Structure 1
Amino acid sequence: MRSHSDKLIKLEAIRGFAATYVAIGHIVKKTLIISGINFAYIFRFGQEAVILFFILSGIVMQYSFARAGNYSFSHFFLKRFLRIYIPLFFIFLANYGILIITENTQVSVSWPELVGNIAMLQDYGGVKVGILFGPFLGNLPLWSLSYEWWFYFIFFYLYTKFGKMSGLYAYSISILAAISYFFYPTFIGRVFMYLSIWWIGADIGLLYFQGKDIFLKTLLMPLASILCVTIILTINFYFNGTKTAAILHDSGFGVSPILELRHFLFVLFIIPISLLWKSFGWVGFNMIFGIFGRIAPISFALYISHWFLVANANYLDNIITNKPIQISAYIIICVGFSYLVERRIYPTINHIVMNKVYKQHNLNEIAILGQ
């Protein structure tokens, strides 16, 4: 078994890398000319980086859950709620404040969209069908938070109810959701379909916690389920690709139903590649990804704030006219804001709330025992 002092250092580095990669992709957009070569194409796989987030999330959640040994639902919910919503609340405020400053007027808010985002029902509008709510204030990276949120609680229910069999249920649900998605694509259908991607991370996290070897054979069931979903999505693309692309006014690789197919194909690529790299002792890993471990502690806030603080920012247009200096200033502001939210505001509020809740909980227990 792993000791409680173990840190998933490599996962932290990859998490920092994925957040940085997505941010750079949004910042450079389609043009990054260096020595006459457009390097922007290197950063065109932000969607795959988000899928990497899902896998990492599953690993860390299962590993943390196994270490804790036992969670009440109220404790699990409170921890997840504070972790997601405290940074998100400040991102909402900052985004709205910047819009007021840049537009120099009151900004109208779509209340249904705000409620939809608070309820974690948002998705990436414009590239998928069946979307009820887009990301609040056009902050597109927020689309993935809804998936993460529902993965947490599906995991809690299945794992606490079915234990070792929970994976079988998760992968079966994912395949059934993919079949239903063929006929009627919806947000909830996508969440359940993508559950297998998140759960393969959970399986890896459990194997790691148990000190077991992780190789293709031990991941046979999750990979088989992801392959099944991939086949279903391939059939879906064959029959519905042209129709869906016409609805979305786009025939590129970034729209449904090829977008979902991209995601699952990426998993079938990255898992074997990672295991192959592991078999070679992760040679060169620290040289490539090590530096991104420093970004990991602020990666969540960086991911959900870079869209309006850097990628689509114009709040310094009248202050700094030199474009390279302006972008550098935007990046510094974004990193500083992310650090403030992740390393100062969130830990402080989280500490206050958890202490207050569990102090009251302990007092109630003492009162009950004294009766």
Structure 2
Amino acid sequence: MRGWGAAATARVVDNPINMPDESASARSRKRFVQLYAPAVGQLAGNLLMLQDVSSLKPGVWFDPFGGNAPLWSLSYEWWFYMMFFVLATRLQRSASSQKYVVFALSLTGCAIYQRFPNQLCLFLGYFLTWWAGAECAREYVDRGAVTWRRQSPTVLMLGLLCVAWTTGIVVAHHHGVHLRWGTAPILQVRHVGAALLLLTAGITWYKLRFPGFRFTFGPLAALGPVSYALYVLHYPVLAYLSAVTHVSSIARLLLAMALVLPLAYLLEVRAQPRINAWFSGLSSGRTRRVQPPQGEPLTAVMDSGTP
């Protein structure tokens, strides 16, 4: 090991003598590309909402920028909203069949991913987990209640999708792959299974009139206005404090909260409305109302083609 270190040091020291003649600007460009090109590519992938965690799933194209791992889910949320807009506008007159189209897309994504792992199929394969919430919201807005009768197809389809993702575990086990609880292919089954469990538990809790909600999730409503900023900011702040402080985990958490909460307030409550107003001023599109089929809520559509 010492020999390798000495050789590396000698190469660095001797490098200016043995290197070919080149200008300082050319050398700077080379170093810039070597150092920053990967980071620029990663940033571009995150700006395009294509990030995920490559250490947990095969087929991931870009990791979250700056190692901020929680940002992985933002890409899924973005593309789910985009796909929702397409389905909600293209299949307006058959809104009741939209969930079956989503189920077909998720099954297709799951099947293709098993053979050719890629990020697009991950988005598709998880789409139904998000759409399940949209179905609950749709029924509640439409009828003022959420019923097992109307949600049972979604519950069943989530169960079938979970089984479909389980085939990856069977195939991996057959080929002698060492399976780990926190990585693919078990991870996808965990995610879809959790969505199924939360959906059934949520409807059951709703039917029981949410006992205990006031003392559990109720107080968290105060964080609603800043929840997005909290999600985005908490990890880098905690990572920074872990690197520069030597205090207990509880003390570090309290310090992080003292830093993140005011910053989240400034970003979400103070800055974001101004940013929204600025973008609204740039947009010349007007909102028109589209009359949906009878029994379905109205959908607002921008003339400019944006949701």
Question: CA contact under 8 A between 2:155 and 2:200: conserved in structure 1?
Answer: no
How many corresponding residue pairs?
A: 248
Does the 8 Å CA contact 1:244/1:256 hold for their aligned counterparts?
Answer: no
Partner of 1:332, secondary structure, is: helix
Corresponding residue number in structure 2 for 1:304: 232
- Give how far 1:252 is off: 2.8
Matched, 1:334 2:260: yes
Which residue identity is paired with 2:261? Answer: V
Deviation of residue 361 (structure 1)?
Answer: 6.8
> Match for residue 50 of structure 2?
121
Q: TM-score, normalised by structure 1?
A: 0.62
Looking at structure 1, the residues matched to 260 and 79 of structure 2 have their Cα atoms a distance apart, in angstroms, of 27
Matched, 1:294 2:222: yes
1:63 corresponds in structure 2 to none
- Per-residue CA deviations over 1:98-137 (Å, capped at 9, x if unaligned) read xxxxxxxxx9571110110011111112010011110001
What is the CA RMSD across the aligned residues, in angstroms?
2.3
1:344 Cα deviation (Å)?
0.9
Give the distance between the partners of 2:218 and 2:239, measured in 1 at CA.
Answer: 25
Q: State which structure, 1 or 2, has the greater radius of gyration over its C-alpha atoms.
A: 2
Describe the shift of the 1:304–1:183 C-alpha distance in structure 2 as closer, same or farther (beyond 3 A): same
Aligned with 1:207 (options 136, 139, 144): 139
How do residues 214-253 of structure 1 correspond to structure 2 at under 5 angstroms?
Answer: 214-241=146-173, 246=178, 251-253=179-181
2:269 to 343, 353, 356: 343
Paired letter, 1:117: N
Q: Which residue of 2 aligns with 1:195?
A: 127
What is the distance in 2 between the residues matched to 1:284 and 1:311? 34
Q: Distance in 2 between matches of 1:170 and 1:333?
A: 41
Number of the residue aligned with 2:61: 132
Alignment match of 2:205 (pick from 266, 270, 277): 277
Flag the structure with more relative contact order, 1 or 2, with Cα contacts below 8 A and sequence separation at least 6: 1
CA contact (8 A) 1:120 1:146 kept: yes
Q: Note closer, same or farther for the CA distance 1:243–1:134 as it changes in structure 2 (3 Å cut).
A: farther
Matched-pair contact (CA < 8 Å) for 1:216–1:272: no
Which amino acid in structure 2 is aligned with residue 347 of structure 1? P
* Cα separation, partners in 2 of 1:276 and 1:141, compared to 1, 3 Å: same
Partner AA of 1:272 in structure 2:
T
State the shift of 1:177 in Å: 1.4
Equivalent in the alignment of 1:96:
none
Tell me the amino acid that sits aligned with residue 181 of structure 2. F
Query: Unpaired runs of 5+ in structure 1?
Result: 1-106, 363-371
Distance 2:230 2:261 in 1: 7
Q: Are residue 262 (structure 1) and residue 190 (structure 2) matched?
A: yes
1:142 to 71, 74, 81: 71
Letter in 1 for 2:217: F
C-alpha distance in 1, partners of 2:47/2:193?
31
Matches of 1:297 and 1:225 in 2, distance apart?
33
- Tell me the percent identity: 27
